[in-house]
Structure formats: structure tokens, C-alpha cells
Amino acid sequence: MNDAAIDLPVRRLGLGVPGDAALDRCVAVEAPVSVEVGGIAYAVMMATPADLEDYAVGFALSEGLIGAPADIRRTDVQPIEGGWALRLWLTTERNAAALERARTRVSESSCGLCGIANIEEVLRPLPPVTAHIGTDRIAIAAALTALDAHQPLGRATGAVHAAAFCSPAGAIRLVREDVGRHNALDKLIGALARAGIDAGEGFMLLSARCSYELVEKTVRAGCPMLVTISAPTSLAATRAAAAGLTLVALARPDAALVVADPQGMIA
């Protein structure tokens, strides 16, 4: 047993093939993670409580609370009753802005996207992608083929997503896993930032469908290309094209869909 997975007693039912049995099944841990900034509650996320230091940095970057890992003075990760507490202490300037954002979140509707002002905020223009890499279909295929070997929690549980950072040639450099696809990407972004790896020097590969949030996190991280193994949403495709992000979806060993390639990066 560890923070990422547990053995759960289950009973196997023979359906198409007879054979009932009592066994232990490795399942991914899903737990509430309370994110606090400067002592103020900011959000509660359902996540796998592993690599939470990476998640702290990636979440703060994706939320615009910080501009770089150095804006975080201290990170405390503590188990609490029923879950985990992730406490961030920012520099004075960043802390003031984060507390104002926390107060705004308290007044928002529970859906987080209701009201004209909130919709305008969600759809505000993304910063344009400035990084450029040269890659091709061979690199995408190589990354897809290699991804499974970098998903130990996924292989053990069959219940988590993986986010990988790949070189332009398709070599996987770094991977993070989580029950949530957004969390996995935040962990990866945080891990890259903490390691001093420029996200603009490669592409992201995600074992998930491509929603608009994943496009936005990739763009804000400064990465020029996102590859997902499942389909994109309409807003994901629109936002990627507008920001100059190369987006490849439904990526399988035999084929993939180039949804957007405004910079002509894929040979």
C-alpha cells in the first residue's frame, strides 16, 4: 500500500467465462486535496496524492497565481482527516494577488462558469504560442509506443491518466500520473518547472480526451504542441487554433488527426 494505490478485496464474477473468485485488486487512490494559499482555502481537488509538490507548482502556474517556482516561498503537504492539505506560501506580491483571487472564487457560482462576466473571463484570448519545434509522425508514433512503459500506476490500476513531456524526436522525458487528466498535466507542468526544463522544447502527450482546459494549460506552460489519445471538443480545437497551438487528437499507433497545426510543425 502507498499514497497512490491500495489493494482492495473484491469478488470476481464469471460472466462470459465461468470462474468466480475472491481476490485483491490494485486500485488508484482518489482523495480530496485541499489547496490553501497564504492560509486561505482556495480549492478542493479530487486527486491522487502522489507528486503533490509538483502538483502545487503546476496548479499555481496554471491558475496564474505564480509566474515561476521561485514565487513559492514554501510548500507544506500534510495528511488530514479524510484527505490531504496542500498549503502554499507565496512571495508578498504574489500572495496579495492570490488572496484577491481566492475572495473572487468564493463569490462565484458553484458551476464556476455562470454569468456573462465569467464566460468572458473563460474565453479571454490566450497568450500566443511563441515556441516552435520540428517534429513528425514518426516521433508521435514513437512517443505513443513508449508511453505504456512509463505508466506504472496505470498498468497496476487501469484507472489513471498519464501526462508525458516528449522531445521533438518522440523520446519521453518526464511523466506524471493521476486519476484526473487535469491533475496529471498540472503535475507534469510543475515537475518541468521544478527541474528547469523548458516546456517549449518538446510536446505534451496525454492519455485522455482533449478538453479546452488541457489546451489552455498547455499554452500557458509555453508548450507548442499537444497530442491526446482521445477526441477533442469543439472549444479545444477553436482555442488551440487561435493560440497557435498544434493539436493532434485520436492518436493511435495506426493513425492520428491533426486538428490544428497553424505553425506547420508536423512534417
| Residues labelled as active-site residues | 111
Q: What is the CA angle 35-173-232, rounded to 5?
A: 65
Burial (0-12, 13-18, 19+ Cβ within 10 Å), 129: buried
- The residue among 257, 232, 244 whose CA lies nearest residue 132 is 244
Pull the grid cell for residue 94.
504574489
Q: What is the CA angle 101-104-106, rounded to 5?
A: 115
The label of the residue with cell 518547472 reads 193
Cα separation, 128 vs 131, whole angstroms? 9
224 and 116 Cβ atoms separated by less than 8 Å: no
How many angstroms separate the Cα of 247 from the Cα of each of 25, 39, 143, 195, 254? 36, 38, 15, 25, 17
First to last CA, the chain: 45
Which residues neighbour 120 within 8 Å (Cβ) at sequence distance 6 or greater?
Answer: none
